[in-house]
Structure 1
């Protein structure tokens, strides 16, 4: 019987050993990819206006001079207005990327503070990272045009300023206190809707204690020259502020220092120091002056003084010029708005009782207080408002102008002089000067005749002086004087004539001495030359008592 055939089964292995090698290679590759990805830091996007000096694959990102990233791509934005930079950061930099982080390009710069970034001339520009302290992470940043003034956690204080005056304050400008730089302007932006300048200042420690609740800020333009009613003034700031301007601050004179300012507090930036000092008087009384004189030379900000002491300021000239005026006025006056600031009397006065102060001034009005315009500077013609008491002034009637109380006025010194000159001219015109003119004509005629006589006398004198005999007279006088001098020389002490004269005088003196007895005899008995002299008795001594 033939032998039956059967299929023989053989079990085969599901995986051949040959696949072990590629499998291991795949695992190694996956591990390498994972290891590489795990070591890669986050990718960030930087936006800047100009990518000058930035190169893909070369430009580094540093912080404290340590590399923490590298630029990978440099592209343009979709609107072609900005440069968009893609950079890969190291893993250790991930915690640094938050909303307070700042980036800027380090390259050679020349500014008011000097020259910086010279080390990048050979190595090339790089991007500097300043870590922030915020907890909110961020992957897209705007690159700053200028390096930040200070780190966000720097010791000091940051405050905000609002300015409505035109100035050239920009980021990086100095903030000074009495000429010493204590901070910088961190950010400046113009708000077109509010039409105001918004500034952010950083004051470094320990000078942040100088900023208090009563501090005032104003711009410093380097040189401040003024010629107004208060005279000529010149102020010169630091060299840095002279070149680019800046901001300075301080506490107004005789004002309390106040409490230390809070962080992010808001202040007003004034145009100058005077405006800053004036801004501290926020409590005031408003009055309107109805001036009958000219207001040429009176400017807003001019002082209102009482006997030389400033107590207020002029606000507007003219003010509400077309508004109807009180019917009691006989002339069309020019309204001037002024402010009386009681805080000038007491710097610690925070609030005032307006009714009490208005009543006080009304009592002064009844005693003759009046306002007038006076010249503060004859060179510029600047005027100021002077308050003083006057005698024999008309009684003041209480009135208002556009819901403002009216301050009584009187004519100024120039107006009074003008009125006096006008009155003098009126009196002069009323004088009857025709008789005076006739007398003056007669006097002039008589004077003319006198002058003719004087002319004739002068002509006679001229003829006398021209006579040859008159001309020879000085020579004759000189000759006579010479002869007299020659004669006197003969009577000099050593001359013969002098000696003879001396001997003659001696003999004459001896003769006079010999004649004295004769003269005494003739004096006692005039007839002694004819008759004999009377005998004289001997003198008898007197007996003792």
Structure 2
């Protein structure tokens, strides 16, 4: 083209170098990986902790049942600088675990009265544990627990709330005991300022939660229980665990029906002991008043009321307010004691009909000598109880009224009766005129002395009279008596006639006895020989004739 003198035709070729395919492919792969990572990563959550002890960003794991489900990404202070905000990335399959009731807490080595936990973190390091029951709405913001929960969420069982008017006797983690076996724990404590009652949220583990019924009673079994009352001295203890910490036991008291099973959170009261819990089966009481003239020291509310040794009720109130609180301080005014006789204890229905029966029966009995008295139930402590008895010789009495209560007449107890008798004796002694008695005694001693002197004088006169007797006359009579005795002795001496006659009689008697000796021997061998013939009889054998030869032998 140059040779012809024409200009060259230049064409521009538009093309992309194949080398650019490499970065393009790299960008696509990176984008795909980013999209895949973004679409498969789990949600980002925030957890507020009290402090960040043991937590590290990029290292601390979040676990559930020892399976990693997330990781801590960052740790920073909250806006008020009071707590720590932890941001964590959860795994993709943990989306359904993040509910509003999901719980988080850090796991560290812990040593307490309830045991030792978190020892595995000495090797693996601190981690965050979580639990959930898959209930409630989805959430991304959480507040961590300050300590591991007593019962993780989702644990099968039953939550109940216990209440007590007593002091704060229990703490989180204290056991719930059933027949010596730990079946639950106290979870949390709440004090209601308006009611001034302590509430304990408690969890009963499955399958023991099936034992909770409408008639279930809870009672305190903490440490060693000692009771010194009218029934004596009692010492009780539950399990070794409750000796170290506190705890409660539960069950249906003997004599009560099992009741219906409880399937949702219910409220129960904590009783002081099993005995006080068992008292709950007696709902109704027929109330009476006894007016006590003696001291009520040693009598307490809850003390037993007994009839001939059988408990039929308890003391409900001592000196109830009646608008005349100061009158009982006056001399001779009795102190009222309110008692309750429970129909259920005397084989009556525990309702209004049972109370009416008790009221009518007591009225009849009072007219026939039914009386109340305070008795000593424990000599060591001086604890008293109310004893009801029939006294046939008691004066006739009618039931009176004290406020809204019927009055059961009372008598002094045995100790008071003895004291009254001793006091009466001392009063009689004090009333004696000791001066007059002393004068009379002196006069009596003077009379005795004069009588003694008179007797001495009489004895002297009698001795003098004996001396004046004729001694010669006495001697003559004594000599005559001795002479008669000598004459009698000579009549029985050897060679005398009397002596010879006695000898002949004895010899004749001896001869007759020798003659009777053979006869006596024969009678001794054959007592019937005087009646039957002594000749021998022929010897007979069964089925043969008499053998005369054998009989003559």
What TM-score, normalized to structure 2? 0.70
User: Bigger shift: 153-162 or 439-448?
Assistant: 439-448
Aligned to 2:308: 307
User: CA contact under 8 A between 2:399 and 2:406: conserved in structure 1?
Assistant: no
Which moves more between the two structures, 310-319 or 345-354? 345-354
Secondary structure of the corresponding residue to residue 335 of structure 1: strand
Q: Is the 8 A contact 1:99 1:132 kept in 2?
A: no
* Contact kept? 1:112, 1:240, Cα under 8 Å: no
CA-based RMSD of the aligned residues comes to 3.8
The residue that corresponds to 1:483 in the other structure is none
Partner in structure 1 of residue 321 of structure 2: 320
Superposed displacement of residue 379, structure 1: 1.3
Give the drift of 1:241. Answer: 0.6
Give how far 1:33 is off: 4.3
Q: CA deviation at 1:77?
A: 4.0
Alpha-carbon distance between aligned partners in 2 of 1:138 and 1:407, rounded to the nearest angstrom: 69
**How much does 1:129 deviate?**
1.1
Contact 1:56 1:74 (8 Å CA) reproduced: yes
What is the alpha-carbon distance in structure 2 between the residues aligned to residue 441 and residue 122 of structure 1? Answer: 107
Q: 1:523 aligns with which of 476, 496, 500?
A: 500
**Structure 1 residue 147: deviation in Å?**
3.0
Confirm whether residue 177 of structure 1 aligns to residue 178 of structure 2. yes
Map of 2:238 onto structure 1: 237
- Residue correspondence of structure 1 range 121-140 to structure 2 within 5 A: 121-140=122-141
Unaligned runs of 5+ in 1: 1-9, 449-515, 526-545
Give the Å deviation of 1:351.
6.5
Q: Using the alignment, how far apart are the partners of 1:74 and 1:407 within structure 2?
A: 77
Residue in structure 2 matching 1:396, options 386, 398, 406? 398
Question: What is the rounded CA distance, in whole Å, between the counterparts of 2:313 and 2:231 in structure 1?
Answer: 14
Output the CA distance in 1 between the equivalents of 2:49 and 2:395.
73
Report if aligned partners of 1:297, 1:382 keep a CA contact under 8 Å in 2.
yes
3-state SS of 2:400 partner: coil
Q: Which residue of 1 aligns with 2:188?
A: 187
Q: CA deviation at 1:96?
A: 0.9
SS at match of 1:138: coil
Partner of 2:92: 91
Q: What is the match of residue 266 of structure 1?
A: 267
Instruction: Provide the rounded CA distance (Å) in 1 between the counterparts of 2:499 and 2:173.
Output: 130
Distance 1:84 1:297 in 2: 62
Displacement of 1:124 in angstroms is 1.3
1:360 matched to 2:397? The reply is no
**Paired residue for 1:531?**
none
Displacement after TM superposition at 1:397 (Å) = 4.1
* DSSP 3-state at the match of 1:343: helix
Provide the aligned length of Structure 1 versus Structure 2: 447
> Is 1:166 aligned to residue 167 of structure 2?
yes
C-alpha distance in 1 between matches for 2:86 and 2:263? 38
2:74–2:88 CA contact under 8 A, matched in 1: yes
Matched, 1:144 2:145: yes
Against the structure 1 CA distance between its residues 18 and 199, is the aligned structure 2 distance closer, same or farther, given a 3 Å change threshold? same
Structure 2 residue runs without a partner (length 5+): 1-10, 450-493, 503-553
The change in CA–CA distance for 1:303 and 1:29 in structure 2 (over 3 A counts) is same
C-alpha separation in 1, matches of 2:165 and 2:396: 44
Query: In structure 2, the residue corresponding to 1:144 is in which secondary structure?
Result: coil
Q: Does 1:287 align with 2:288?
A: yes
Residue 122 to residue 406, structure 1, CA distance change in 2 (3 Å): same
Partner of 2:375: 374
What secondary structure is seen at the aligned counterpart in 2 of 1:225? strand
- Aligned position for 1:105: 106
Cα separation, partners in 2 of 1:521 and 1:343, compared to 1, 3 Å: closer
CA distance in 2: counterparts of 1:165 and 1:33, whole angstroms: 63
Distance in 2 of aligned mates of 1:44 and 1:248: 42
Q: 1:334-345 alignment to 2 at 5 Å?
A: 334-345=335-346
SS of equivalent to 2:134:
coil
1:214 and 1:256 in contact (8 A); partners too: yes
2:238 and 2:232 map into 1 onto residues whose CA distance is 20
- If the length of structure 1 is used for normalisation, what is the TM-score? 0.71
The residue that corresponds to 2:484 in the other structure is: none
**Cα contact 2:284–2:350 (8 A) shared by 1:** no
Residues of 2 paired with 1:334 and 1:522: CA distance? 102
C-alpha distance 150-439 of structure 1, shift in aligned 2 (>3 A): same
Q: Which moved more, 1:233-242 or 1:178-187?
A: 178-187
